[in-house]
């Protein structure tokens, strides 16, 4: 398998795993972004979810994500997981552009439902696929370098198919509303990009635990993860059997005229499951983490502490607070506006993804 460390903007460098599958991208775009609605309403004049809003620049957060993903994975192997209620925003988003596959959920049943539904959708078409999951509420500096790192992680998963690998970010404070990862022994990767077994995974830990993780080698979970689709489905079956069984029943309706009806029925009775808390923390499959070198990722979610320090000049700086170490002067600049030197942390909702 060959990997190109020289990804350039506008080019898609596909990875073809030697096991007969392909590399797929899943973009999670099913959240409502309730906490960010005042800003979105001011900028867009309506109540659209934040991932469909051009908060920084002219592109929406979703478009930023898809353009970044497209450096490595083409639209025909990209899946956007959204809600049926968001159809009008997706129509505006794509227009005449090549569209990725759209998987629309009837209702929001948590992050586990979105990931497992996408994994099952891909598995029915490409049983040996490697899937990389991306939240739609990240902004990334040095996008080509970031996607090159993603390619390396995907290559590890292709060679070692039992692993689920997450991307971690170096923390700047003992944040209690993020997922934390405690790395253990090295299991692969390179000197520049080592991959470590996850010793423990803590979703929204106590202040005392977060302080201990910060003092040690703890990392924030970016919720970017790579795994074989079959491995993700096996984890769902073991850790969230009620949800898994509801989704598994959809297989017999794939491609039929009753598929949408079956999806509505499955979601009507499915439990709401948080992927991090219910699956990652109890996962029987081995978990690993790889840290992207440097602080180049900003995530549009906000801690309780930073919500208390909202910058009143929010058209320039949405909120003051840490966001993976990226400065407002780097990623939050608006033409003609003075810039704060404090980190920017776009306000987001409480769950793991947009």
Residues 6+ apart with CB under 8 A from 268: 106, 107
Query: CA-to-CA distance for 209 and 280, rounded, in angstroms?
Result: 18
pLDDT at 7 (0 to 100): 55
CB 136 within 8 A of CB 30: no
HEC letters along 93-129: HHCCCCCCEEEEECCCCCHHHHHHHHHHHHHCCCCCC
Give 170-222 as a DSSP string.
Answer: --SS--SSSEEEEEEEEEEE-SSSEEEEEEEEEES--HHHHHHHHHTT-EEEE
pLDDT at 99 (0 to 100): 86
Of the chain, the end-to-end C-alpha distance in Å amounts to 33
The Cα-based distances of 252 to 29, 109, 129 in angstroms read 26, 21, 20
DSSP 343: B
* pTM of the model as a whole: 0.80
Q: What is the pLDDT along the chain (354 residues), one digit of tens a residue?
A: 232 334 554 555 555 554 567 999 999 987 665 566 666 666 666 667 677 667 667 788 888 899 999 999 999 999 999 998 888 888 888 876 778 999 999 999 999 999 999 999 999 999 999 999 999 888 788 889 999 999 999 999 999 999 999 999 888 899 998 889 999 999 998 777 899 999 988 888 999 999 999 999 899 999 999 999 999 999 999 999 999 999 999 999 988 999 999 999 999 999 999 999 899 989 999 999 999 765 545 554 444 443 333 333 333 233 323 333 222 222 333 333 322 322 333 433 334 444
CB 132 within 8 A of CB 25: yes
**Partners of 272 in beta bridges:** none
**Residue tagged 């991932």 (tokens):** 51
Half-sphere exposure of 254 (CA within 13 A, CB side): 14
Query: CA-to-CA distance for 158 and 152, rounded, in angstroms?
Result: 10
CB 311 within 8 A of CB 330: no
pLDDT at 351 (0 to 100): 45
């Amino acid at each position: 398998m060959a990997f190109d460390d020289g990804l350039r903007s506008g080019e898609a460098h596909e990875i073809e795993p030697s096991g007969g599958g392909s590399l797929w991208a899943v973009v999670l775009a099913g959240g409502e972004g309730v906490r960010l609605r005042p800003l979105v309403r001011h900028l867009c004049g309506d109540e659209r979810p934040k991932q469909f809003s051009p908060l920084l620049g002219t592109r929406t957060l979703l478009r930023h994500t898809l353009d970044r993903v497209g450096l490595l994975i083409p639209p025909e192997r990209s899946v956007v997981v959204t809600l049926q209620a968001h159809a009008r925003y997706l129509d505006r988003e794509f227009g005449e552009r090549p569209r990725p596959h759209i998987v629309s959920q009837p209702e929001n049943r948590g992050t586990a439902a979105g990931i497992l539904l996408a994994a099952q959708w891909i598995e029915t078409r490409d049983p040996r696929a490697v899937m990389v999951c991306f939240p739609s509420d990240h902004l990334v500096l040095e996008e080509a370098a970031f996607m090159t790192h993603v390619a390396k992680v995907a290559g590890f998963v292709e060679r070692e198919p039992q692993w689920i690998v997450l991307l971690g970010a170096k923390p700047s404070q003992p944040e209690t509303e993020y997922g934390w990862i405690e790395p253990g022994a090295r299991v692969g990767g390179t000197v520049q990009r080592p991959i470590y077994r996850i010793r423990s995974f803590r979703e929204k830990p106590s202040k005392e635990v977060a302080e201990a993780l910060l003092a040690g080698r703890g990392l924030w979970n970016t919720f970017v993860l790579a795994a074989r689709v079959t491995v993700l489905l096996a984890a769902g079956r073991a850790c969230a059997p009620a949800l898994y069984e509801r989704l598994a029943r959809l297989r017999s309706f794939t491609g039929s005229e009753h598929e949408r009806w079956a999806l509505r029925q499955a979601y009507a009775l499915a439990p709401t499951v948080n992927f991090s808390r219910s699956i990652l923390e109890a996962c029987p499959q081995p978990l690993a983490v790889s840290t992207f070198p440097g602080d180049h990722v900003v995530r549009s979610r906000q801690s309780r502490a930073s919500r208390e320090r909202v910058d009143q000049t929010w058209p320039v700086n949405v909120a003051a607070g840490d966001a993976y170490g990226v400065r407002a002067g780097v990623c939050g600049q608006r033409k003609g506006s003075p810039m704060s030197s404090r980190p920017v942390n776009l306000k987001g909702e409480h769950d793991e993804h947009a």
